Structure formats: structure tokens, C-alpha cells
Structure 1
Amino acid sequence: MAPVEVPDSAAEVDVCLLLEGTYPYVKGGVSTWVYDLITRLPELRFAVVHVAPERGTYTRRLYSLPANVVSLSDLFCREPLARGRDPAALQRVARAERRRHADAR
């Protein structure tokens, strides 16, 4: 599994939510509860780490990210190990993921 790169904005959060297969990519149940929790606590800053089995499983956000979500990171369980990879290439992938999430806001 590749290491998760934490964006600078995540350094100053109040709450980190580790969510498997739910918000912001799946509607209902736990996702609704998470969305309600975040939106009803606007004074807190949230980092969301979404755990998925592999890249491409969840491709579209079904919830908008409220302003108090300062970071969204995807963690893929079946991501190949980073060992032996070019560190610059890993940095490019991490930057692309951050841009993808920023553009989706």
C-alpha cells in the first residue's frame, strides 16, 4: 500500500474522519450521518480519509464538501507498494490527486 501524503491544509484540523466506502462517494446511512455531523459543526475543521478497495471503485462524489472540510484523501487498500518507484513520480501522483479533489469542490 502506498503511503498517504497529508496535504499542508490537513496540519490544522480539529477532527479526522476515517471512512470506509461511504461519504462522500456513497449516499445514505453512514454518509448522511457524516454529512450532518460535519455541517452541524461549522466551527470545527475536518480532514476526511476515504478508504476504498482500489482506484476507480468510487469515481464521483455524491455529497458536496462543506467549507469546513479542509482535506479529503483517498486511501486504496489494493494500491501496489511504492517500493522501487521513482519518488518524483509518486509526488506527481499525489499532486494530481490533490488537484482533482480541489477541482471537484
Structure 2
Amino acid sequence: MPRNDSLKIGELTDTSYYILLCLTKAKHGYLIMQTIKNLTNNQFSIGPASMYTTIKKLLDAGLIKLSSESSPKKKTYVATTKGIELFKKEVQRRKEMIEHAERILNQNEEI
């Protein structure tokens, strides 16, 4: 399935995941990128083009919105209730994926 369809089926790409995580509090674009780099110790970074493409998709899906703190010069975004709910489901889905992997890897070590 193309990555563009992930939001339609209720799953987040890594980029969407980190942007939504950052937007539990209102942030502008540059601060989103810096927060992700700091949070992941520079192991994951998002460039401006990818970030703004993803922000548009998240806006269109109603998962984020322009914050009341936004200004014409600096757009500030924040997650919506719908976005937070989807994010929580995604965290649970990823936890289950890790549990599955650990179970299989542990079985393979026993062989």
C-alpha cells in the first residue's frame, strides 16, 4: 500500500508520528524539526519539504490545526483531539509490533 494511504487506514508514518508527538503543544515548523532531532539524539530528522508536505496531510485529515498562537509570519500548529486519539492508538499498535518481534526473536534464540 502506498505510504500516502497510511492516514486513510489510521496508521502513521514515522514522520507523521514524530510530528504529532511534537504537536501535543503548539510549535512552529523550525521548532518541530529541532524538537525531533533533539528527542531522537539526531537519529531521525525531517527536512522542511518533507515536514510541510506531512503537515498539509495532517491538516487535511483533521489531526492537527493552526494554533491560536499562529501569526502571518510564523504558522504554529497543534494536535487536535482526533490527532491525539490516533497517536495513542498508533503507540499501542507499535508496542504490539515490538512484542511480536521480541517473541519471535526469543524463540529463535532458544533453538
TM-score of the superposed pair, with normalisation by structure 1: 0.28
Q: Which of these two proteins has the greater Rg computed from alpha carbons? A: 2
Higher strand share: 1
TM-score of the superposed pair, with normalisation by structure 2: 0.27
Higher RCO structure (Cα 8 Å, ≥6 apart):
1
Higher helix share: 2
